[in-house]
């Protein structure tokens, strides 16, 4: 997009959007939100960065990292689930599989919920990004992000 106003404002707002998304994802067990909401915010910020043509590090490998994140986050979820079976309780059991409960109210608490939330967050962000890439692909040359 060629608009100077949109690019300048987008550059300013982008980091705040991403910090907001990470906050929502990391505080899913304390406040409204969680992995799905935070991942949507982060995915939308990446779409904004690409639409406004804002340069950032790792832009050339964004498609590959989306594919990697999408597959590995699902595997991480299942591996966390199998920890419960290894501990002698059911699949995806949290505190009964001796995940540390922490202090209720702090960020690092509630057993596996924070890693699970972050995995879902990356998964959803890469889903949004992949969908945008698939839809915007007609405007790109050789699959390079230059929408």
Partner 1 sequence: MRTVASAFILSLVAVVLIGMVSEMPRFGGSANPALATTYPRYTGSAISDTGAQNIVTAIVLDYRGFDTLGETTVLFTAILAATLALTATKGKTSDSGK
Which residues lie near partner 1 (CB under 8 A)? 28-32, 34, 70, 73-74, 77-78, 81, 91-92, 94-95, 101-102, 104-105, 109-113, 116-117, 120, 123-124, 127, 130-131, 134-135, 137, 143
| Least separation in angstroms between CB 3 and partner 1 | 27
Q: What are phi and psi of 125, to 5 degrees?
A: -60, -45
The number of residues making up the chain comes to 147
| Least separation in angstroms between CB 51 and partner 1 | 18
Residue that has been written with the tokens 């990470």 in this structure: 22
| Least separation in angstroms between CB 65 and partner 1 | 15
For CA atoms 69, 75, 112, 38, the dihedral sign is positive
As a whole number of angstroms, the distance between CA 63 and CA 84 comes to: 33
Q: Based on CB atoms, which residue is closest to partner 1, 2 or 139?
A: 139
Q: Based on CB atoms, which residue is closest to partner 1, 10 or 34?
A: 34
Strand partners, 106: 104
Q: Based on CB atoms, which residue is closest to partner 1, 53 or 70?
A: 70
- Residue 106 is classified by DSSP as B
Q: H-type helices in 27-61, by residue range?
A: 35-51
Q: Based on CB atoms, which residue is closest to partner 1, 24 or 52?
A: 24
| Least separation in angstroms between CB 106 and partner 1 | 10
Ramachandran region of residue 73, left (φ > 0), alpha (ψ -120 to 50) or beta? alpha
| Least separation in angstroms between CB 59 and partner 1 | 16
């Amino acid at each position: 997009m060629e608009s100077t106003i949109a690019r300048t404002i987008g550059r300013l707002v982008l980091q705040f959007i991403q910090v907001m998304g990470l906050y929502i994802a990391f505080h899913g067990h304390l406040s409204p939100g969680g992995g799905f909401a935070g991942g949507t915010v982060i995915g939308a910020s990446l779409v904004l960065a690409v639409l406004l043509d804002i340069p950032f590090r790792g832009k050339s490998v964004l498609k590959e990292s989306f594919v990697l994140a999408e597959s590995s986050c699902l595997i991480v979820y299942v591996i966390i689930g199998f920890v419960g079976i290894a501990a002698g309780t059911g699949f995806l059991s949290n505190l009964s599989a001796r995940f540390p409960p922490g202090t209720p109210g702090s960020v690092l608490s509630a057993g596996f919920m924070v890693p699970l939330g972050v995995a879902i967050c990356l998964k959803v962000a890469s889903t949004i990004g992949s969908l945008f890439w698939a839809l915007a692909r007609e405007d790109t040359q050789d699959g390079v992000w230059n929408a």
